[in-house]
Structures are given as structure tokens and as C-alpha cells.
């Protein structure tokens, strides 16, 4: 069954009004017709089963048949601070992070960042990738994409439980750090940050400032990962440790 993100502004107590781009997709791409069903989520945690009663290339709307209040979100809210990298690699990183369950993505400008701040059109493309990944992976919230910020600012605003994978870290593995966090927490839900560097990684000075801000450097193991995959690996390890992955 097809699934779409629809803004809460387009959802009333009994009806859903689809925006023009999704109306066009329903009509032209999926060949949907009156009487067909689809799923809609509003990005705030609620999902709806909708019976279409009008579909054409410019507009579509339907009746809400069922309201589904079933969260598929992790107990740990992950904030991914991803240094800007080549656009196609950044897109891969955010797509897979959303599929995994990351709550918010913050593009970061660090000392070794080689790529420019994204244009408005590029930023819009990233938002669309996040939306499509959330639709596909059955997320019930729409992860936020923040405007790019400098690393110093990101380090100072990050959740109190945050890690920064670093290839030069030899004493603390991610497994050990996560087990220690797990022993200390009392909350059912909590926030956690992941800092991922650009191609070439973070500088020694940046790591020192991270430690000053109580961010914990961790090793991801003996192998070196690409900038676009390191965050995915770290997020997977966190979600596994805190029981979100059914493996």
C-alpha cells in the first residue's frame, strides 16, 4: 500500500487533502482511482488509513477510515551532526540515517570541510530525500533537517550524551562507551548525538574542543570508514545496544 507524508494542515478530523505533487503522483504514477486505499502520516506520530474518493492530476482527497497511533520510533532520539561532504555521498548518509531512525540531521562545517553550503535547491532536494526515506521506512515522525552550522556551535549545543567517532581513538571502543551509558540512564527516552567528520576526519584541535564540551571520542574498530558510512555504522551500533533493532 502506498504511503505518503502529508502536513497536518491538510488533515482534518475526517478528510485528507493531498497537495498537487502527490495528487499527480497518485493519478499518473500509481494509477490510483476512487475507492483505493493509501496510508498517510503527519510527521508528528500519527498515521491514517485513507479511502480515496477523488483523484485527478491536479487534486486528490479522501476519507479517513482509521487513525493508527502506533509509534515505530526508537527510544533514543539520535541527532546526526554530519560534516558536509560531496553531495551524492551526503544524500546517501541522510537517506540511510532516516531509514535507521535518526531523529534530526545537522549539516556541519568543520576545519577540513571542502564543500560549499548547499543552495536552496540542493537543500530542498535533501528535504525530499528525507521525506521519501521516511515514507518508505514507515517512520511516524518526519526527521528534521537543520541549516548548516559551524562545528564549534554544534559541539556546544549537542545532547549531553554524544559521541564523536575518531580514527585515532585507541582506548574507548563504541561498545564499551554505549554499555556505560546504558548503565547510567534512568529515562525511558533520551537524546544522543553523533558527530561525523568530513573526508580527512576531524583535526586534533577539533577533538580537543569536543572533549572540552564533554563529547566522548570513540573507536568504531580497526577499519577506517567513509564519511558517508561512519554515521550509519554508529547509529546502528547505538540502536542495537538499546534494543531497537530486532536482531
How confident is the model at residue 114, as a pLDDT? 87
Is the separation of the CB atoms in 177 and 216 below 8 Å?
yes
Q: Over 80: is that where the pLDDT of 50 sits?
A: yes
**Mean pLDDT (whole number) for 123-127:** 98
Question: How much of the chain, in percent, has pLDDT values that exceed 70?
Answer: 99
- Please name every residue paired with 162 in a beta bridge, in sequence order, or none if there are none: 193
Of 123, 10, 125, the closest CA to residue 59 belongs to: 10
pLDDT band at 187 (very low <50, low <70, confident <90, very high): confident
How confident is the model at residue 247, as a pLDDT? 59
**Mean pLDDT (whole number) for 93-97:** 98
Strand pairing class (15-18; 60-68): antiparallel
What does pLDDT average to over the chain?
95
How confident is the model at residue 43, as a pLDDT? 95
**Mean pLDDT (whole number) for 30-46:** 96
**Mean pLDDT (whole number) for 120-130:** 97
Domains and CATH numbers, the chain: 3-68 (2.40.240.20), 76-241 (3.40.1280.10)
In angstroms, the CA 207 to CA 19 distance is 45
In angstroms, the CA 84 to CA 200 distance is 12
In angstroms, the CA 16 to CA 8 distance is 9
What's the predicted TM-score (pTM) here?
0.92
Q: Over 80: is that where the pLDDT of 246 sits?
A: no
Amino acid at each position: 500500500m502506498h504511503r505518503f507524508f502529508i502536513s497536518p494542515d491538510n488533515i482534518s478530523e475526517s478528510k485528507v487533502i493531498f497537495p498537487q505533487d502527490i495528487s499527480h503522483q497518485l493519478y499518473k504514477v500509481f494509477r490510483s482511482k476512487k475507492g483505493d486505499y493509501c496510508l498517510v502520516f503527519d510527521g508528528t506520530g500519527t498515521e491514517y488509513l485513507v479511502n480515496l474518493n477523488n483523484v485527478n492530476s491536479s487534486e486528490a482527497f479522501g476519507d479517513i477510515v482509521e487513525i493508527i497511533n502506533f509509534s515505530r520510533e526508537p527510544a533514543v532520539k539520535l541527532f546526526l551532526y554530519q560534516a558536509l561532504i560531496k553531495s551524492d555521498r551526503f544524500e546517501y548518509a541522510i537517506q540511510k540515517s532516516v531509514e535507521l531512525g535518526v531523529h534530526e540531521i545537522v549539516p556541519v562545517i568543520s576545519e577540513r570541510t571542502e564543500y560549499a553550503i548547499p543552495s536552496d535547491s540542493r537543500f530542498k532536494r535533501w528535504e525530499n530525500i528525507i521525506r521519501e526515506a521516511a515514507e518508505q521506512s514507515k517512520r511516524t515522525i518526519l526527521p528534521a533537517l537543520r541549516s548548516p552550522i559551524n562545528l564549534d556551535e554544534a559541539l556546544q549545543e549537542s545532547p549531553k550524551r554524544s559521541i564523536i567517532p575518531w580514527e585515532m581513538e585507541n582506548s574507548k571502543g563504541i561498545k564499551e562507551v554505549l554499555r556505560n551509558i546504558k548503565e547510567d540512564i534512568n529515562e525511558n527516552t533520551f537524546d544522543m548525538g553523533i558527530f561525523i567528520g568530513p573526508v580527512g576526519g576531524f583535526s586534533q584541535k577539533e577533538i580537543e574542543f569536543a572533549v572540552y564540551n564533554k563529547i566522548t571520542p570513540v573507536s568504531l574498530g580497526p577499519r577506517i570508514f567513509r564519511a558517508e558510512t561512519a554515521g550509519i555504522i554508529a547509529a546502528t551500533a547505538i540502536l542495537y545496544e538499546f534494543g531497537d533493532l530486532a536482531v
